[in-house]
């Protein structure tokens, strides 16, 4: 499996996942007093079921923890990741 590059687009409150220079996914969030709420995330259907969503979410949550924020999964992709990896739910 190829690795993607995930970058934090702070201006638009999202993380963008790219593969070979092409944006293939995003994880959108909003910051609140409770933490960083991930409201929507998706991978281009042509790249689904290849592990890219997991890579993107992991990078976004790593960055969120580094920022000292609690990740909150409102969208199903992040919510499911947090359920499978409870250590990421901690601040």
For 8-49, write each residue's pLDDT tens digit: 999 999 999 999 999 999 999 999 999 999 999 999 999 999
Mention every residue, 6+ apart, whose C-beta is less than 8 A from residue 72.
Answer: 34, 35, 36, 37, 38
Q: Is 80 exceeded by the pLDDT of residue 89?
A: no
Domain of 72, CATH number, reads 3.40.630.30
Find the mean pLDDT for residues 81-89. Answer: 89
Q: What is the pLDDT of residues 53-66, one digit of tens each?
A: 999 999 999 999 99
Q: Name the domain count of the chain.
A: 1
Q: Is 90 exceeded by the pLDDT of residue 6?
A: yes
Range of the domain at 62: 5-89
Portion of the chain with pLDDT greater than 90, in percent: 90
CB 77, CB 61: distance < 8 Å: no
Give the residue carrying structure tokens 């739910």. Answer: 89
Query: What does the mean pLDDT of the chain come to?
Result: 94
The pLDDT score that the predictor gives to residue 28 is 98
């Amino acid at each position: 499996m190829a690795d993607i590059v995930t970058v934090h687009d702070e201006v638009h409150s999202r993380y963008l996942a790219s593969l070979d220079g092409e944006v293939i996914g995003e994880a959108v969030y909003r910051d609140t007093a409770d933490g960083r709420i991930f409201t929507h995330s998706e991978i281009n259907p042509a790249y689904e079921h290849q592990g890219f969503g997991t890579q993107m979410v992991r990078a976004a949550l790593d960055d969120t923890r580094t920022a000292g924020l609690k990740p909150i999964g409102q969208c199903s992709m992040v919510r499911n990741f947090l359920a499978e990896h409870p250590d990421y739910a901690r601040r």
